Amino acid sequence: MFSDVAETPYDLRFRLLGVPVRVHPWFWVISALLGSSGSRSGLGLVLMWVGCVFVSILVHEFGHALMGRRFGSDPSILLYSFGGLCYTGGERTPRQRLAVLLAGPGAGILLYFATLGVYSLAYGVTPREHLALGLPFLGVEGDRFAAFEGIARMGDPRAQILYFMMVQVNLYWSLINLLPIWPLDGGQIAQVLLSQVNRRDGARWAHGISFVTAGLLALFLGIRSHNMFMTIFMGYFAFINYQALQALHDASRRGERDDWWRS
């Protein structure tokens, strides 16, 4: 998705755990724009949001990178726009590909639980209160009394805001990333699994599922939600999967169908 992102003089570059990381300027711009919407107004809150997004997405990509390294890859990471990409390369078995794909969301979920642990130790927030505070991000109404108790324990408004930012990015976004929508991790996982069921048409099936899922979510969000970002996000994914299906169809008609499955 980001394989053709050109380098710029303003890229931030560093190595962490031996993995080269490049951060494109658009990552900061898009993150700041997302942070300036809704209730996150004011420079301090925007910077806090950008910091949360940077750390969280970096942890996610390192999940992919470290698992890829375990299978002999030499990974590198790019953060761009509102996401990231981990280049791992090399040939892997389907099980290894699944492990690499699952390691990214898995790292985000671990960071979510680490956040809960820190807040439990620092402020005494109980598991019941964490559950009540996290359920609304999944569209489920939690125990309001427990949620109020959890917020009251934190005291400092900055600690409360940081908590909700970390929950949103590492719980909500990680679960969204597992939806069967290509090129999200969940869509790539679906492609690997379906290609094992039908090596010839697995990719086509995965793009079809991605197109329908993203399209329905975009429609639902457009009607029932005020989250314009997610509506556009899902609409864009529906569009690129429609393009992928058209490309596969055209290649098949021209007799240029990819026969990678024969090997």
Confidence (pLDDT) at 259:
44
Compute the distance between CA of residue 87 and CA of residue 90 in angstroms, rounded to an integer: 10
228 in a structural domain: yes
Sheet strand arrangement including 12-16: 12-16, 19-23, 76-80, 83-87
Confidence (pLDDT) at 221:
82
217 in a structural domain: yes
Low-confidence ranges of the chain (pLDDT < 50): 1-2, 259-263
Confidence (pLDDT) at 105:
95
184 in a structural domain: yes
Compute the distance between CA of residue 114 and CA of residue 77 in angstroms, rounded to an integer: 23
29 in a structural domain: no
Confidence (pLDDT) at 256:
55
Closest C-alpha among 59, 55, 45, 164 to residue 109: 59
3-state secondary structure of 84: strand
Which residue range(s) make up the domain with 211? 179-248
Long-range contacts of 188-197 (CB under 8 A, 24+ apart): 188/101, 189/98, 189/101, 189/102, 192/94, 192/97, 192/98, 192/101, 193/98, 195/94, 195/261, 196/94
Cis peptide before 157 (omega within 30 of 0): no
pLDDT tens for 107-121 read: 999 999 999 999 999
Domain count for the chain, please give it.
1
Confidence (pLDDT) at 179:
94
Write the DSSP symbol of residue 192: H
Write the DSSP symbol of residue 22: E
239 in a structural domain: yes
Confidence (pLDDT) at 14:
95
85 in a structural domain: no
99 in a structural domain: no
213 in a structural domain: yes
